A and B are shown apart, each in its own frame.
Chain A
């Protein structure tokens, strides 16, 4: 299975993850500083900044797009509970 590399810049931890893994599945386990509220793409609490590899994350769904707009998120922001690592690329994230 294809594996990507997901780096949490605030704690300097990189995790090799199977394609399709959501950031939320990893960040809490490694103790990264991204925080969560509803965990289902509604509240925007888990906004994170994508420092590198935005192209290696799944496209935002209509639901996530709406939440990003409502929270006036920048172009480098995503919801950690929604974004999935795709393919074999590298992604670097940190709390917004």
Chain B
């Protein structure tokens, strides 16, 4: 099957518009983090105009042979007038250096924020090529065919954009609407059932950027594309608007969130070996619950699984983690949950940590470091207590919970601190 797919010719997806990408049916893990039971494709496209040809994206470097063979079958290098780069990750720009060596006259179009990546891809050779840094809405006239650049920042990198072929209403969407699914039948109305791959791709690639996805859909939906040609997986020619609607749905909540409006949601997760961290958790919960405008939820991680908690965390405003210190570290279920938060947006949420310990108590500062790494705010120094808390220490935990909740509710009093005390 691999050889059959590799030798498949370029596919004319519309008059004078060809798919010239590559098949990678044997891939089982993409970018170390994504599983794929069906391999993937690296989709690149070629658009012919009266005044020249545009190549839209390339392929992963090791699949360059497929890409160049298909390109050569439909045009010659000297006809390439433009190379449009929607996204400069290596699975799309891997064949770019060689393409530019073969077509040095081609003019490169990349979004403004893509310049540094373009420099890193082409190194010193970039000096000998011409390039334009595009603005949102800029157009390129190929002679009777117009490419419009639609910037879609953070879908899923800062520099990403889509390219719209105005006359045929084809949207070259790069990673947006992509799926790791390799099928030589090309089109969504012909390939095998790829729905799981489409949703899985969104959840692992686009999910942290839901806010940006929604604003991108506001731009893409009015274009009413007749065909969506992404950079991975099937070309969406049957009911393409359904996939735009699907991205909107995937960017929303599974269930309506009862904590809404001005009320803030604060989640407390804990584990406890001897009950001491559990006692702290209940006191932090009580203190936080006393603050009006904050809804507090308490979860013992021993009774839960990671994925549903990730869903809750995604929509929460504040997170507090309680862990005992065992062997100089926080316990594994806490790390499992914290490691899983890479799939969602956490920046700007308020974070905090507490825990009981016997000897050294490293868990709390280690959790705080992780929360900072997740771009969360950690405004209060964590609460650590040796063995079981006293009544006074439980009061301290209540104060701690209250101060975190007050900050969330916008009720914290202005503070003046000396640098030396930090």
Whether A28 and B418, one on each chain, are in contact in the complex, defined by CB atoms closer than 8 angstroms, is: no
Whether B332 sits at the interface, judged by CB under 8 Å, is no
B residues 269-297 near A (Cβ < 8 Å) are none
Whether B350 sits at the interface, judged by CB under 8 Å, is yes
Residues in A with CB closer than 8 Å to B375 are 35-36
Residues in B with CB closer than 8 Å to A28 are 372, 378
Shortest beta-carbon distance from B352 to chain A in Å: 9
Whether B113 and A70, one on each chain, are in contact in the complex, defined by CB atoms closer than 8 angstroms, is: yes
Q: Main SS of the interface on chain A?
A: mixed
Whether B107 sits at the interface, judged by CB under 8 Å, is no
Whether B417 and A16, one on each chain, are in contact in the complex, defined by CB atoms closer than 8 angstroms, is: yes
Say which residue of B112, B347, B415 sits within 8 Å of A13 (CB atoms).
Answer: B415
Residues in B with CB closer than 8 Å to A26 are 419, 422
B residues 365-381 near A (Cβ < 8 Å) are 372, 375, 377-380
Whether A63 sits at the interface, judged by CB under 8 Å, is no
Residues in B with CB closer than 8 Å to A16 are 416-419
Q: How many angstroms between the C-alpha atoms of A41 and B103 in the bound complex?
A: 35
Whether B409 sits at the interface, judged by CB under 8 Å, is no
Whether A2 sits at the interface, judged by CB under 8 Å, is no
Closest B residue to A10 using CB positions:
B377
Residues in B with CB closer than 8 Å to A70 are 112-113, 115-116
Whether A58 sits at the interface, judged by CB under 8 Å, is no
Residues in B with CB closer than 8 Å to A36 are 375
Whether A71 and B113, one on each chain, are in contact in the complex, defined by CB atoms closer than 8 angstroms, is: yes
Interface size class, chain A: 20 to 34
Shortest beta-carbon distance from A24 to chain B in Å: 11
Interface size class, chain B: 20 to 34
Whether A31 and B350, one on each chain, are in contact in the complex, defined by CB atoms closer than 8 angstroms, is: yes
Whether B379 and A35, one on each chain, are in contact in the complex, defined by CB atoms closer than 8 angstroms, is: no
* Interface 1/0 per residue, B405-416 and A, CB below 8 Å: 001000011111
Whether A62 sits at the interface, judged by CB under 8 Å, is no
Say which residue of A11, A14, A18, A32 sits within 8 Å of B416 (CB atoms).
Answer: A14
Q: How many angstroms between the C-alpha atoms of A67 and B3 in the bound complex?
A: 46
Residues in A with CB closer than 8 Å to B422 are 15, 26, 29-30
Shortest beta-carbon distance from B94 to chain A in Å: 22
Q: How many angstroms between the C-alpha atoms of A13 and B422 in the bound complex?
A: 12
Shortest beta-carbon distance from B370 to chain A in Å: 13
Known contacts A35-B347, A70-B116, A71-B113, A30 near B414 by CB under 8 Å? no
Whether A33 sits at the interface, judged by CB under 8 Å, is yes
A residues 26-47 near B (Cβ < 8 Å) are 26, 28-33, 35-36
Residues in A with CB closer than 8 Å to B417 are 13-16, 30
Whether A17 sits at the interface, judged by CB under 8 Å, is yes
Considering residues A21, A31, A33, which has the most beta carbons from chain B within 10 angstroms of its beta carbon?
Answer: A31
* 6 A–B contacts from the bound complex (CB under 8 Å): A11-B379, A15-B417, A31-B377, A32-B377, A36-B375, A70-B116
Using CB atoms and an 8 Å cutoff, list the residues of chain B in contact with chain A.
112-113, 115-116, 347-348, 350, 372, 375, 377-380, 407, 412-419, 422
- Known A13-B379, A16-B419, A26-B422; 5 more pairs at CB < 8 Å: A13-B415, A30-B417, A31-B379, A32-B379, A95-B348
